[in-house]
């Protein structure tokens, strides 16, 4: 298992054509247009993770990364896809779909708990403890620490294995079709966030 660190783009040909990839982002904060995209983490689930870091004056061209994210034949796995999709759309200019979101799958199937964070999910489904110590660190720093890199990599390290576990439960409880409908809507949900409807429920009566 190796964590590869890249500046401004992925190398060409890192992932096999059509292979599903786990994706996550690190930003300067939670307001997408204000808080710039600093790192994109990506893994095909075979044991290595790739981190792509963008500098403060980046033009986010990243043709290789954008091609992987925009590939309509490549499933992208996220935990809380809504945020990552918005950041990728705003800064990299691509819709990183089709989508699978482990947080939505968890909420649909783990109805016995209100704890759907990545740490809790990895612990229950895979029996692994992950550290969230670096979650609120400075991702725009000139140099990222080894602890930051390992944290970023861990955010995509387990998503393929978790998908398998969550799919088993979704199928068992007859909720896979509902989950898929939610996943299909996520790019539109991210667009609503970017367009100014982050908190408004447009489906509500009042």
**Three-state secondary structure call for residue 144:** coil
Q: Contact, 104 vs 77, CB < 8 A?
A: no
Identify each DSSP E strand in the chain by its residue range: 3-7, 21-27, 37-43, 49-53, 76-78, 99-101
Q: Contact, 49 vs 4, CB < 8 A?
A: yes
Q: What is the pLDDT at residue 68?
A: 98
CB-side neighbour CA atoms (13 Å) of 130: 24
Q: What is the pLDDT at residue 45?
A: 96
| Digit-coded pLDDT (tens) for 106-144 | 999 999 999 999 999 999 999 999 876 666 789 999 999
For residue 90, what are the contacts with CB-CB under 8 A and spacing of at least 6?
Answer: 32, 33, 37, 194
Q: Among positive and negative, which fits the CA dihedral 22, 120, 88, 198?
A: positive
Q: Per CATH, which fold does 3-195 belong to?
A: Nucleotidyltransferase; domain 5 (3.30.420)
Label residue 73 exposed, middle or buried (CB < 10 Å: 0-12, 13-18, 19+): exposed
Q: What is the pLDDT at residue 134?
A: 64
**Three-state secondary structure call for residue 108:** helix
The reported pTM is 0.95
Token duo for residue 170: 């979704």
Q: What is the pLDDT at residue 195?
A: 96
Domain boundary assignment for the chain: 3-195
Q: What is the pLDDT at residue 206?
A: 82
In this prediction, the residues of the chain whose per-residue pLDDT falls under 70 are: 132-135
Q: Contact, 9 vs 52, CB < 8 A?
A: yes
Q: What is the pLDDT at residue 1?
A: 77
Q: Contact, 61 vs 55, CB < 8 A?
A: no
- Taking alpha carbons only, the member of 180, 200, 178, 179 closest to residue 189 is 200
**Three-state secondary structure call for residue 145:** coil
Q: What is the pLDDT at residue 131?
A: 73
Q: What is the pLDDT at residue 136?
A: 74
């Amino acid at each position: 298992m190796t964590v590869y660190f890249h500046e401004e783009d992925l190398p060409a040909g890192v992932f096999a054509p059509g292979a599903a990839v786990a994706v996550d982002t690190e930003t300067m904060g939670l307001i997408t247009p204000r808080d710039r995209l600093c790192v994109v983490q990506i893994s095909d689930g075979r044991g290595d993770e790739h981190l792509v870091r963008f500098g403060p004056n980046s033009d986010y061209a990243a043709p290789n990364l954008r091609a992987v994210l925009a590939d309509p034949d490549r499933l992208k796995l996220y935990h809380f896809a809504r945020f990552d999709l918005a950041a990728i759309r705003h800064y990299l200019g691509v819709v990183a779909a089709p989508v699978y979101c482990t947080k939505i799958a968890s909420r649909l199937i783990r109805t016995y708990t209100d704890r759907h964070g990545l740490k809790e999910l990895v612990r229950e489904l895979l029996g692994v403890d992950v550290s969230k110590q670096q979650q609120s660190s400075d991702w725009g720093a000139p140099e990222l620490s080894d602890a930051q890199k390992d944290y970023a990599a861990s955010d995509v390290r387990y998503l393929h294995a978790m998908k398998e576990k969550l799919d088993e439960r979704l199928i068992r409880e007859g909720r896979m079709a509902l989950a898929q409908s939610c996943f299909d809507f996520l790019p539109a949900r991210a667009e609503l966030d970017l367009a100014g409807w982050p908190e408004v429920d447009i489906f509500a009566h009042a």
